[in-house]
């Protein structure tokens, strides 16, 4: 049985993860005509994934020699439209932090469940600076997101409705008043 303190910590971190994004709400398990995407097993909580140890090295950009941790990636002249010189387009990108909000959440797994393929999520792992991304291409929206590193898994409450929602660390979402993407240890 989960401890009350663990449940409270998870609730607070989930609230911080999702508080300001106005991208809708995830419905209950099972999905259906309301456009929600069910968890693959029909339950509220998915199995956690082990943290990658060590995490991949931080991606260092050639033009600035830093990882742009905590910055919006999917913007014009970077990984948005149009892309910057030599930059591939991204569909989802952001930075994840540990509970203190400043330490990179390295080696965590980000899962994106799409309406077209809800049982096979897009998966990516955060690098040493907590950054994650996946390439552009197919329109995966609507979708829902979660982050996991055992023993914790947290699902985003809001649905990702459009390409603008894939820029997770933009000032419109987790780079602004919503608060950072956080998963406790």
Q: pLDDT tens, 55-104?
A: 999 988 777 788 888 777 787 778 888 888 888 888 888 899 998 988 99
pLDDT value of position 101:
87
Whose CA is closest to 148, among 166, 125, 114? 125
Mean residue pLDDT of the chain comes to: 72
Residue 22's Cβ-count burial label (10 Å; 0-12, 13-18, 19+) is exposed
Q: Where are the alpha helices (DSSP H) in 19-128?
A: none
Residue range 21-59, pLDDT digits in tens: 333 323 222 233 333 444 544 434 468 899 999 999 998
Boundaries of every domain in the chain: 48-56+70-185
Position 7 pLDDT exceeds 70 = no
Task: Name which residue leads in pLDDT, 12 or 122.
Answer: 122
**pTM of the shown model:** 0.71
Pick the CATH number of 48-56+70-185 from 2.60.40, 1.20.120, 2.40.160, 1.10.3470: 2.60.40
What is the predicted pLDDT for the residue at 138? 66
Residues 136/88, Cβ–Cβ less than 8 Å:
yes
Residue owning tokens 């419905």: 27
Burial class (CB in 10 A: 0-12, 13-18, 19+), 132: buried
């Amino acid at each position: 049985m989960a401890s009350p303190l663990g449940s409270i910590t998870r609730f607070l971190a989930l609230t911080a993860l999702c508080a300001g994004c106005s991208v809708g709400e995830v419905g209950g398990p099972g999905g259906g005509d309301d456009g929600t995407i069910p968890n693959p097993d029909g339950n509220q909580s998915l199995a956690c994934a082990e943290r990658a140890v060590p995490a991949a090295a931080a991606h260092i950009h050639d033009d600035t020699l830093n990882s742009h941790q905590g910055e919006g990636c999917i913007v014009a002249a970077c990984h948005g439209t149009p892309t910057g010189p030599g930059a591939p387009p991204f569909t989802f990108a952001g930075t994840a932090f540990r509970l203190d909000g400043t330490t990179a959440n390295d080696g965590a797994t980000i899962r994106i469940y799409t309406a077209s393929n809800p049982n096979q999520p897009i998966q990516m792992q955060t690098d040493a600076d907590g950054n994650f991304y996946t390439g552009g291409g197919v329109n995966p929206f609507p979708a829902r997101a979660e982050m996991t590193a055992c023993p914790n898994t947290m699902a985003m409450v809001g649905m990702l409705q459009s390409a603008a929602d894939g820029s997770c660390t933009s000032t419109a979402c987790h780079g602004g008043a919503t608060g950072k993407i956080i998963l406790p240890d």
